[in-house]
Each structure stands twice: as structure tokens, then as C-alpha cells.
Amino acid sequence: MTELKLPSLDYAALAPILIMLGTALLGVLVEAFVPRRSRHLVQLTLALLAVLAALTMVVFNADDRMLTAGRALAVDGPTLFLQGAILVLAAMALLLIGDRSVERGGAFVAQAAVTAESADDRRQAEGRNGLTEVYPLTTFAIGGMLIFVAANDLLTMFIALEVFSLPLYLLCALARRRRLLSQEAAMKYFLLGAYASAFFLFGVALIYGFTAGIPGRTAGVDFATINAAVSESPASPVLLFAGMALLAIGLLFKAAAAPFHVWTPDVYQGAPTPVTGFMAACTKVAAFGALLRVFHVAFADAGWDFTPVLGAVAVLTMLVGAVLAVTQTDIKRLLAYSSIANAGYLLVGVLAPSRDGLSGTMFYLVAYGFSVLAAFAVVTLVRDADGEATHLSHWAGLGRRSPFFAGLFTFILLAFAGIPLTSGFTSKFAIFGPALAEGQTWLVIAGVLTSMVLAFPYLRVVVLMWLSEPGESTPTVTVPGGLTSAALMIGVLATLVLGIAPAPLLDLAAGAAEFVR
Amino acid sequence: MEETVQYAGATGLLGSVWLLVAIPLVSAAILLLLGRRADRWGHWLGVAAIGAAFVLGLAFFFQLRGLENKSVELSLWDFIAVGDFRVDFGLLFDPLAAVFVLLITGVGFLIHLYAVEYMAHDGGRRRFFAYFNLFVAAMLLLVLGNNYVMLYFGWEGVGLASYLLISFWYGRPSAATAGKKAFLMNRVGDAGLAIGIFIMFATLGTTQYDEVFSGVGAMTGTTVLVLGLLLLLGAAGKSGQFPLQAWLPDAMEGPTPVSALIHAATMVTAGVYLIARSNPIFSANSTLQLVVVSVGALTLLMGCIIGAAKDDIKRVLAWSTVSQIGYMFLGVGLGGGAYALAIVHLLAHGFFKANMFLGAGSVMHGMRDQVDIRRFGGLSKHMKITWLTFMMGWLAIIGMFPFSGFFSKEPIIVAAFEREDWTAWLFGGAALLGAGLTAFYMTRLFVLTFHGPKRWTEDIEHPHESPTLMTIPLILLAVGSVGAGFLLSTSVPDWLTATAGLGGEHAEHEAVLSHAVITTLSLLVTVLGAGLAWFLFRAGTATAPQPAGVLVTAARRNLYTDAVNEAVFEKPGIFLTRALVFLDNRGVDGLVNGLAAAVGGGSGRLRRMQTGFVRSYATSILAGALLVMAAFLAVQAGWLA
């Protein structure tokens, strides 16, 4: 029996991941041993501290460019930039998750197992403290995402995918109110997520088969092996392209690109709003981080022949997101379709295989994450007796009732619409510019046209808020406690600053825009 | 352009050009943030801010006159800097920007003053002034930017403010619809501008005016053509030119001062500014110039014809705006020295059109918001000041000597006759015909409103003249309508020569007709048109719609352009939306259930169509997956590469 050789680990480089996963495990223990009353505080503090510590380590590692853990993980510019992005956005999401002032007991259900809409369920909705298991679940998800953007072989990537997906499925089911909708969302997300994972895994298998077919090479699914196999393969074989297609499908599902977007509106609507914000910001970063790495590193030498296919997906995604957003009457569904359209813009960035394209895409992910979290933060505030009032008719005249929050929301919507002096404009600029330079003219034209369409539903909400008389059903805006306020203000300020002076972050992204191979 | 364009840095007083944008912006922010607390004095803050901007603008203007280079650039900060691509957050104050600044703040100030009284009884007056100043700030940013991205900022800003201001009277469904229409048609134009800017970025790697203009020579002819056409699309959207003209008349649903400021004097001329500013691009390609000239000529005739058939006083004025901007497009399209002529007409138009819009508002004020000119008549006795000031505007727009329209419009007609081939006859003729038609429909408007027998609705006994605060701006603008033309036409072209590329040596061709003949002809058609209208309408008109021939019916229906828009844009858009909604919610699901029902043969299964979506989602993902797989394999087989 040959001796088992352990791969060397660079603990400092892996620290962010280890911190998050360790804290998640610690969080499980806290659930078991800390008295119920103080769990919420302990868990929230623990999670936030962990995110801060991980972020510190990311900053500390900023100059690392290496492969570690037996080449399974790459700690390089894009990894560190995206890990930093995930952590910052996750911190904001944690603030929203931890808020218990907007809704008594928090946004999460107190007892998930009682029958939805029974008497027990109504009792639990009336202010008993929500589950604190959400914190370990969230930290697990964050840890999974950190691995996902660093994964340098397909199996690690798959495991990371599952590590961050499973907690999200659960989190979706934990809304305090509208339990049925929430459970339905979780069920759909889980079933379809499992379905998409199967595609991904099948793709991994085909790629493995492809590398095994190259004579004189060891088979494997790490990106260096795949890349070498792609360059050495005489013709472009069926296995490679079929595998690539299946991998892309799995990742595009997470990224909410059409036609794999179908789950998005239902899940965004049903999930507790802080979790929706978390998914819209962080899952997007993770999914696109992985897409970028797979296409820039593993398949870089496949000649980008598949660009027209992914381009068609991008156009379809932008079109579906923009056009369907027009017909929405629920703010969370509207934001879901907007998130789909944004996935389309991000795909345009992925298809600009240059350094500028890469840095533009990363910039976009951060800018969009801030804005979308701020948007969902406002959604948590607009409430009536039944919880969040998400139907758009309830938002009529909100500007009269609470000009401040309506003003902030207007600003965020203008950012989504890509109006200049917001990050929405600079980030689209950062993506479309390089895409055009790479010759993706038709994608940019589609992007500009759909963003023009997409501006319409946003401005309709603006007009609804400011130029309509408040009706009977116009809810008041709950004055948020410190946590939600902090998240909201961070999001709005970032949207403003990145819109006026985007240069520092763009520089940072440009400096980080190189993969190690 | 072989010559390179360079601007000097701003120093001294001119270093604070940014104040021009900041003052209105801050005042708008104060008005919006203070809310009801500012209701009592908010409007005066709004007026004062624009007044201050005007005074500053004047000071900057005189400062600029004393400079050698007459163009100063002020770089505030690096807005975007990625690799070698740089977008400056910078301002450019040159003669072209200076005249626009004076127009926007000067006419804007008078309109603000007027609006204080006009909106006095409106509960939302403070909000109105906030949006109004937001608009002025955006418009100033538009003309002061030193690169296309800055121009785009202002461009989006004025679009937004205009959308808010049109929808201001939200109680009216027509106002909301009009707001939507303005927004959508503008977006079409904006998309053109945005793509144009991206093309600059892709081919030249910059959007700074000086660098772009210096780089035009290095671009291929096709690139220049495409770029120019995209910019033209943007300009046409903003300025209500063919084929994007339909929104402008509908935009009259907003309050009258809005119509005067945004939809007559300033925002709609942004398209002319864009083309004048981009003149090195347009001058570089003669096909491009031909397109611009054609758009201008076509629009100016369309505006006249439709304007002659409308009965709503503000809509007639709106179509006349469309038509007059057509003249400006004609001017900028002709190129060379005609750029300056177009700007002169733009400035003169700013005065007399604002004058007439405010006059129309004054009439409506006295007539209980009646807008139908068939219901006016004989108002000259009751509203003396409005009548006299409107008369100045009317004489100016029809180009009667010696009012300003004569000095600004007639040179454009002459320039149109100076083209080198047979198109001189085409465009010169169109411009000349337009002059006659303008005289006809504007006289119709004037006579039906102020002269002839009363045709008022029963509830009006004695129309009153508007208060002083409204008549003062009218008088000042009327003075401008009389005198501005001569002054402008003698001074502005010289002044503008210092702007990069503008007013350069005009490649003078012999006009196909002598100057004197053209002048005589244009005065003749003007008198003819006006005389005919006076003769036809001196005794009033029927108050009910009259049966009409083909041409008038077509004109009443906006020459069927709305129908075309509907067929070309709206219907496919609605269809696309429906189809996507159907596919997204029902299509796949329906297919699966339909199949199941067919197989099972039971209608009971059809009831399940509305439930259990997961499987249909999965099916749709599967279908998408199969497509993507197939496409990847097609790539592999070399079918798509």
C-alpha cells in the first residue's frame, strides 16, 4: 500500500474559509449550550465578528497569488476580490437578518415545524423570537461561497456549490409570515437546485472522460489539467463541449440566467426578505466568480467558440428580465426580474475575455450587491398589519408618508435604471466598454436597449411613490432599528460613492484581475 | 478634422464655473428635503437660485470675452480611470456653452418668475420648483460638460426631470400617458446616444470632446457615419424630430411654464446642441450631413402641416416648436457657417417661443384653462398686454421684418439654397414653403385667439388680464422677440467662431438664387400665408369639428405617424411582453398539461393547469438545457463558428 501523501495547506491563505466554517460549527454548539435568551445576541455577534475576521484575513492576504490544498484552491486576485465582496455584502445581509426591531422577533419563524396557517402558526407569528439557527446556516453558506470562488477543480467547486446551496434552501423556508409561500419557495428552490446540480455533476463526469481520452496525460478535473487537455486535444471533441454545456447550465442556474431563471421570482418572493437580499447579492457574486474562473482558466484555450451560445443566453436573459419586470405588480418579484436582467449584463462581462472585462464584471458584482441589499432593506421596512406590504399598489403615495425612505428607494431605483452619478451607470459602463472593445457589439446593443426598457418599471415605481396620492392601503414605513439602518445606509452610500468616484474600486479590481493557473 | 482641438485650463473666476450647476442643484435638494416646511418661501428660493446662476453666467461670459483662447476647461476629478481609458468629471466653458448658459438661465429666470404666480393655487408648487431647478441643473450640466459622458449625465437628468414635470398633474390620466410616451420615445433616442458613446470609447478610447474631435480623422468613413447616425438618433429623440417627434406635442399636458422652459426654449434644443457640439463628426461625412438636413426639412414641413390642423393652443405651439427645431436641424446639417445660424435661430426661438407659451398660459389663466382656440376670439380687448406681447412673438416666428425671426430664419433659408447640387432647390424650397406655412398657421392661431367674434363657453363673462408677476416676463420676452434677432445675428456668429470647429470658413457656394431674390421670396410667402389665414379666419370659425378633406384629416391625425408608431413599436412590444409572460407562466406548463390531458384523455386533468409549477419549471430548464447542449455541440461541429 502506497503511503498517503497529504497535500500542503497554506493556513493563512485558507483562513477566511476556515474562519467562516469554524464559526458555523461553533454556532451549532451555541444553539446547544447557550441559554435561549442570549442566543440571538451571541450568534449575531459571533457571525459578524467572524465575517470581520475573515475580511481582515482577506485584506492581509491581498498580495497572495498561489494554488494551495493540492491545487484544489486558488488564492489569487479574483478570489480575494470576490471573497472580500462576498464578506462585505454578507455583513450587510447579516445586519438585516439580525434586525429584530422592524418586526417583533425578527424576520424568521419561531417554530418552523408547526402547520402553516394553523392557530399555532398565527401565535408564533405574533412576536415570539425567531429561530437563531439562521446564523450557523448563513455562516455555512458564506463559507461555501468563499470556497466556490476559490475552487480550482470541478469537484471542489461542486462540493462548495452544495455547501452554500443547502443552507440557502433551508433559509428560504424560514419566513415568519406567509409560511406557505415561504415553504413553497424553499421546496421549489431545493428541487430545482438539485436538478441543476445533477447537470453540473454530469458535466464534471464528461469533462473527466474527455481528459482521460488524451493520450499521455493523467485524467483529472482540476483546471490546469483540463486546460492542458483542451490545448492538446487535436479536434474539439464532443465530450468537451457537452461537458462544458452541462457545467455552464449548472452555473447559469445559480446565476439566474434565462432559461434557467424560472425559480428566481418565486424564491425571491417567498424567502424572508433579508435572505432574498443575501441571495441576490452574495449568490450572484459566487456564481459569477465560478463562471469567470471556469471560462477564463479551464476553458480559456477552447477558443471562446461558444461565445455566440452564451451570448444568446445573455441576450435572452436581459430580454426576459427587462420585459417581464414591466408586468410585475409585486416589488419583490420586480426586483427578482431585475436581478435576472442584471445576470444578463454580467454575462456580457463574462464574455469580454480581457483584463478590463474581468475587472469590470467584478466591479459590477460589488456595485450591484450594495444596491440590491439596500433595496431589499427598504422592502423590509414598508409594512402593514400583515407584515411586509410588497404589492405595488400599497406603495402608491409612499413619498408623502415617508419622504426620507421613499427618497432613498428612489435613489436605488435610479441606480438600477443606470442613471448617471449612481453606481448603476458606472458599473454598466465598466462592463459594456470592455465588451465592445472585445467586439461584442451586438451584446452591448442588446444591453443598452434592454436597460432602457428596464428603466421603465423602476421609474413607474418612482412615479407611483411620489406622484400618487396615498391611499387607504398605503402602509407606513417602520422606522428601522440600528441594524437595518446601518445596512441601508451602507448600501445607499456605496451606490452613491461608486457612482461619483468609482476609480479606487475600479483600480482595485483592475489590480486583482488575473487568475493564477 | 486634421487640426487638433485643445482647451486651456480654467483659472481665476472661471475656476468656479461648477457653481452654475451646483446652485440650482442645491436649491432643488433643499426644496425636496425640507418638505412642507419650505412651502411658504420655497418658490422664491427657486427663482433666486436661477437668478443667481444667470448673474454668474453673465460674469463668466464677460470674463471669457477677455480671454485669448475663449475656451476653458475645468477638470473636477477623474470620474472613471481604468487602464488607459479615462473619463473626466470636467466642465468646458466656451462660446457655445456660454450662449446656452445665458439662454437657459436668462429665459429660465423669467419663466420661473412667471411660474410663481401661475402655480400660486397649486398645492404642489414647492415640489414643482424643486423639479424645475433639478431640470435647470441637469440642462446646465448637459451644455457644460467637457466630454460625452458628462453630456449623457445631463441628458439623462433632463429626461428624468421632464418626465416628472410632465406627469406633475398626476390626476390627469392623459398627463400620465404623455409622461410615459415622452419617456419611452426619449429612451429610444437615449439608447442611440449611449451606443454612440460606447462606439467612441471602442474606436478612440476616449469620450473627451477635444480628443474625440482630434481623432475623427483617424476613423473610417463607415464608423463616422454610424456614430453620427446614432448621435442623430439621440438628438432626434430629445428634440422631437422625425421619426421621434410624437412625444413633444403630448408633453403639453404638463403645466404651461414647463412647456415654455423645457419643451420650447431649452431641453428640446439639446439635440441641436449635440449636433453643433459634435460638428467635427458631422462635418466629416457628407452623407451624414445630408441625413441631418433631410430630417430637418421633413420635420419642419410636417410640423407646419400638422400645426395648421390643430385646435389646442398649446399643441399648435408644440408643433410649431417641432417645425422650428426642424429649421435648426436644417441649419446644423448644412454645416460650415450654417452651424452658427442654427444657434442664432435657437436663441431667438428661445425668446419668442417662451414668450408665446407664457402668453398661451396667460390666456388659459384668464379663460378658465380653456385650450381650444375655437373657443377664444376677441381677446385683444380684454387682455391687452398678453395680446401685444403675443403679437411680438407671432411676428417674430413668422419671420416678419424687422422682428427677430426674420434675422434668424432667413439666413438658414439662404444657406439651404447654397448647397452645391440640385438638393439646393429641394431643401431651399422646403425651407421657403415652411416659412409660408408657418405664417399661415401662426396667423390662424393669433387671429382665432385675439380677434374676430367671441366664441367663449357660457361660463366666462369677463376674461381678466393676468397679474403683474406674469406680465413682466411676457413684456421682457416680447422685447427679446423684437430685438434679439438683429443683435444675435450680427454678434453671435463671430462669437461662436472661437468654438472648436464652429463657424469655420464656410465653403461658400453660389446660391442658386441671388440673396435678394430669396429674401424677397421669403417675405412674400410670409405675407401671403399670413394674409390668407387672416382672410379665412377673420370672422372666426365653427366651434365644432368640421368635415375635412384628405389632407386636413391626415394632419389632424398627426399625418398618421402615431398609427405608424403604434404598428411598428407598440404592437410588437406588447406582443413580445405577452409572449414572454405566456411562455414564462403558461407555455411550458400548458404544453405539459395538455400532453398529459391528451394522453390521459380526461378533462379533469386540465384543472391542474394552475397548480404545481415545479415540474413545469423543471421542464423549461430541461428544454433550455437541451437547447444549450445542442448549441454547444453545434459549435463543436463547427456549425456556429
Chain A residues touching residue B168 (CB < 8 angstroms): 467
Least confident of A408-412, B169-173, B413-417: B169-173
Count of the separate structural domains present in chain B: 2
Pairing status of strand B85-93 against strand B72-82: antiparallel
For residue B423, which phi and psi values (nearest 5 degrees)?
A: -65, -20
DSSP string, A140-153: HHHHHHHHHHHB-B
Summarised one tens digit per residue, pLDDT across range A137-184 is: 999 999 999 999 999 999 999 999 999 999 999 999 999 888 888 888
Please check whether residue A282 is in contact with residue A212, taking contact to mean a CB–CB distance below 8 angstroms: no
Give the pLDDT confidence score for residue B103 in this predicted structure: 87
B213 and B231 in one domain? yes
Band of residue B446 on the pLDDT scale cut at 50, 70, 90: confident
Predicted TM-score (pTM) of this structure: 0.80
Return the exposure string of B12-35: e unless at least 16 CB atoms fall within 10 Å of the residue's CB, then b. Answer: eebeebbebbbbbbebbebbbeee
B89 and B13 in one domain? yes
For residue B145, which phi and psi values (nearest 5 degrees)?
A: -60, 155
Between B188 and A92, the higher pLDDT residue: A92
Q: Which residues contact B11 (CB under 8 A, 6 or more apart)?
A: B72
Band of residue B607 on the pLDDT scale cut at 50, 70, 90: very low
Give me the amino acid identity at B59. A
Give residue B596's domain range: 564-636
Summarised one tens digit per residue, pLDDT across range A415-431 is: 998 887 889 988 998 89
**B613 interfacial to chain A (CB closer than 8 Å):** yes
Please list the alpha-helical segments (H only) found in B240-337.
247-250, 256-260, 270-277, 279-283, 286-307, 313-334
Give the pLDDT confidence score for residue B609 in this predicted structure: 33
Q: How far is residue A126's CA from residue A177's CA, in Å, rounded to a whole number?
A: 10
Band of residue A14 on the pLDDT scale cut at 50, 70, 90: very high
Q: How many angstroms away from the CA of B21 is the closest CA of chain A?
A: 14
Band of residue B604 on the pLDDT scale cut at 50, 70, 90: very low
Least confident of B9-23, B231-245, B324-338: B9-23
B104 and B58 in one domain? yes
Summarised one tens digit per residue, pLDDT across range A352-388 is: 888 889 999 999 999 999 999 999 999 998 888 778 8
DSSP string, B414-442: HHHHT-SSTHHHHHHHHHHHHHHHHHHHH
Cα distances (angstroms) measured from residue A343 to each of A258, A312, A492, B378, B532: 9, 13, 21, 63, 62
Please check whether residue B478 is in contact with residue B398, taking contact to mean a CB–CB distance below 8 angstroms: no
End-to-end CA distance of chain A: 32
Please check whether residue B161 is in contact with residue B131, taking contact to mean a CB–CB distance below 8 angstroms: yes
Please check whether residue B301 is in contact with residue B551, taking contact to mean a CB–CB distance below 8 angstroms: no
Give the pLDDT confidence score for residue B445 in this predicted structure: 83
B577 and B475 in one domain? no
pLDDT > 60? residue A119: yes
B12 and B43 in one domain? yes
In this structure, is residue B1 part of a structural domain? no
**B623 interfacial to chain A (CB closer than 8 Å):** yes
**Mean of the per-residue pLDDT values of chain B:** 77
Q: Of A288, A286, A294, A285, whose CA–CA distance to A152 is shortest?
A: A294
Residue with cell 460638428: B279
pLDDT > 90? residue B627: no
B250 and B169 in one domain? yes
Domain C-terminal end among B496, B529, B556: B556
Q: How far is residue B264's CA from residue A80's CA, in Å, rounded to a whole number?
A: 54
Summarised one tens digit per residue, pLDDT across range B557-570 is: 776 766 776 666 66
Contact across the interface for B577 and A323, Cβ inside 8 Å: yes
**Chain A residue whose CA is closest to B202:** A437
**Cell numbers describing residue B450:** 385675439
Please give the torsion angle defined by the CA atoms of residues A273, B579, A258 and A394, in that order, rounded to the nearest 10 degrees.
Answer: -10
**A468 interfacial to chain B (CB closer than 8 Å):** yes
Q: How far is residue A412's CA from residue A406's CA, in Å, rounded to a whole number?
A: 10
Q: Select the highest-mean-pLDDT range: A151-165, A224-238, B311-325, B457-471.
A: A151-165
**Mean of the per-residue pLDDT values of chain A:** 89
Please list the alpha-helical segments (H only) found in B68-169.
95-118, 125-144, 148-166
Domain boundaries, chain A: 8-184+259-297, 306-517
Summarised one tens digit per residue, pLDDT across range B184-205 is: 777 778 888 888 888 887 788 7
The rounded Cα B62 to chain-centroid distance in angstroms is: 28
**Cell numbers describing residue A440:** 461584442
Q: How far is residue B424's CA from residue B422's CA, in Å, rounded to a whole number?
A: 5
In this structure, is residue B641 part of a structural domain? no
pLDDT > 90? residue A194: yes
Give the pLDDT confidence score for residue B582 in this predicted structure: 61
Give the pLDDT confidence score for residue A248 in this predicted structure: 92
**B579 interfacial to chain A (CB closer than 8 Å):** no
Q: Select the highest-mean-pLDDT range: A82-91, A265-274, B444-453.
A: A82-91
Summarised one tens digit per residue, pLDDT across range A428-456 is: 988 988 888 888 888 988 898 888 888 88
Domain C-terminal end among B518, B536, B556: B556
Summarised one tens digit per residue, pLDDT across range B224-255 is: 888 888 899 888 888 888 877 777 777 777 77
Chain A residues touching residue B153 (CB < 8 angstroms): 420-421
Residue with cell 438683429: B486
Residue with cell 392557530: A119
Pairing status of strand A66-68 against strand A73-75: antiparallel
Q: How far is residue A200's CA from residue A249's CA, in Å, rounded to a whole number?
A: 7
**A497 interfacial to chain B (CB closer than 8 Å):** no
Pairing status of strand A387-388 against strand A73-75: unpaired
Chain B residues touching residue A447 (CB < 8 angstroms): none
DSSP β-bridge partners for residue B372: B312
Give the pLDDT confidence score for residue A469 in this predicted structure: 73
Q: Which residues contact A507 (CB under 8 A, 6 or more apart)?
A: B81, B82
Please check whether residue B437 is in contact with residue B529, taking contact to mean a CB–CB distance below 8 angstroms: yes
Chain B residues touching residue A407 (CB < 8 angstroms): 32
Summarised one tens digit per residue, pLDDT across range A299-318 is: 887 766 778 889 999 999 99
Contact across the interface for A456 and B194, Cβ inside 8 Å: no
- Exposed/middle/buried for B11, CB within 10 Å: 0-12, 13-18, 19+? exposed
Domain C-terminal end among B556, B576, B591: B556
In this structure, is residue B413 part of a structural domain? yes
Please check whether residue A75 is in contact with residue A64, taking contact to mean a CB–CB distance below 8 angstroms: yes
Give the pLDDT confidence score for residue B509 in this predicted structure: 57
**B35 interfacial to chain A (CB closer than 8 Å):** yes
